[in-house]
Amino acid sequence: MTPADYEYLRKMLKEKSGLVLSTDKQYLVESRLLPLARKANLPGIGELVAKMKAGSQSITTDVVEAMTTNETFFFRDKVPFDHFKDTILPSLLQARAARKSLRIWCAACSTGQEPYSLAMILKEMGTTVAGWRIEIVATDLSQEVLEKSKAGIFSQFEVQRGLPIQLLVKNFKQVGELWQLNPDIRSMVQFKQLNLLQDFSHLGAFDLIFCRNVLIYFDQDTKVAIFNRLAKLNEADGFLVLGAAETVVGLTDVYKPMPDKRGVYRPNPNRTAAAPPLAPAMGAGAAKAAAR
Amino acid sequence: MKTCLVVDDSSVIRKVARRILEGLDFQISEAEDGEKALAACRQALPDAVLLDWNMPIMDGYEFLRNLRRMPGGDLPKVVFCTTENDVAHIARALHAGANEYIMKPFDKEIVTAKFQEVGLI
């Protein structure tokens, strides 16, 4: 890969997905894009770039997906799911007792393990949530991973990382060497394609937003803009859950960390003053402008 | 340091498991069948057992049933690690008192996840 090809890819990825690649990530690009080049019967990344420059939308989409798709697993990091079960849900079930409905958003859900983990926890709660209307909306940039998510089919390797064996037996059916989630769990999650850089206000308000391990790939201005827009969709008494390596601290005051609950944030009551107006359709440039 | 008894008739699997578990700060002992594993447990109960299913002399399932009947035998966390990768075997293992179940092939990530799941890490 020539320095010019790498520079083209860096700029294109930043513009289309917000992904920020430092100047030393050539190895990452090569490891993700060489298989894609082979799949497209192209000798190398140079030819892949040439196709994109010539206007091939399908190759461009494939490149963005290959670079932004991240491996995940059930109950990843465990602690956020303990917070969900022990702190967030009890609080929301009490606060919403009158209307008996909850809306949860898993932003950047990748292959679906996160929203399905939440669905399995809710199913385990049985009568506590009986009669409640609980919506789990799961979004990702990549159409390819969303298709995989919807099917709910996972390899033996995937179902062994983080998923307790009792939950595997209860909620999955063995299909040859693969494992498929039962329809009752699959039907609890709605999957939608979404680019976090673009307007997402049409999704409506959420009591809880899981937005984990995606903002780390964005630059600071884009992170701030996304936090501000998340806060506008988050109910005032709702929750935001971030990944272990992510925080709002030092970036924005639209959220406040929840004491003793690492990774859990609450909307700041004064957030309306801090949040900028919503842009109708945000690309990276618009997101930057909104953050200023 | 927590102790783990690795029970498998394959010396290669025992070696791989030992390397992974020592990396997770476990003190390892080994047995090549269920009978030898039971004898080891009568001497000293480990904190954990990583257990194959198919072994000569006494298989993993019989070992587990015997272990759970021993005084204090309910204490060790037992994680099956086997090529018996179907729901029927998993259900039998859980019914007999297994705490977790690894379907071979396995790697460090899977072992770590399963040992975390049962509170050993």
Choose the mutation target among A165, A166, A175 for the interface with B, i.e. most B CBs under 10 Å.
A165
User: Are B94 and A156 an interchain contact pair (Cβ–Cβ within 8 Å)?
Assistant: no
CA distance, residue B27 to nearest chain A CA (Å)? 23
Please name each of the domains of chain A with its CATH number: 3-68 (1.10.155.10), 79-285 (3.40.50.150)
What is the pTM assigned to this prediction?
Answer: 0.84
Neighbours of A251 (CB within 10 A): 17
In angstroms, rounded to a whole number, what is the distance separating the alpha carbons of residues A45 and A93? 51
CA distance B103 to chain A (A): 8
8 Å CB contact of B94 and A174: no
For chain A, the residues whose C-beta falls within 8 A of a C-beta of chain B are 73, 78, 156-157, 160-162, 164-166, 168-169, 174, 177
Q: Which band of pLDDT confidence, cut at 50, 70 and 90, is reported for residue A61? A: confident
Is-contact A236 A147, C-beta < 8 A? Answer: no
A194-232 burial string, b = 16+ CB within 10 Å, else e? bbbbbebeebeebbbbbbbbbbebbeebbbbbbbbbbbb
Q: Mean per-residue pLDDT for A269-281? A: 50
Asked whether the predicted pLDDT for residue A176 surpasses 80, the reply is yes
B24 in contact with A at a CB cutoff of 8 Å? no
Output the average pLDDT for chain A: 88
**What distance in Å separates the CA atoms of residue A276 and residue A231, rounded to the nearest whole number?**
10
Inter-chain Cβ pairs, chain A and chain B, closer than 8 A: 33
| C-alpha span between A130 and B26 (Å, rounded) | 43
Q: Which residues of A touch B91 (CB under 8 A)?
A: 169
Mean pLDDT value of segment B43-50: 98
In angstroms, rounded to a whole number, what is the distance separating the alpha carbons of residues B97 and B79? 10
Topology classification of domain B2-117 = Rossmann fold (3.40.50)
Nearest CB to B90; choose among A157, A169, A177: A169
Q: What are φ and ψ of residue A15, in 5° steps? A: -70, -40
- Name A178's bridge partners: A155, A175
Contact call for residues B58 and B38 (beta carbons, < 8 A) = yes
Asked if the interface predicted TM-score (ipTM) of this complex is over 0.90, the answer is yes
Rounded to the nearest angstrom, the minimum Cα separation between B33 and chain A is 24
Where b means 16+ CB within 10 Å and e means fewer, A127-160 reads: eebeeeebebbbbbbbeebbebbeebbbebebbb
Q: What is the pLDDT of residues B60-82, one digit of tens each?
A: 999 999 999 999 999 999 999 99
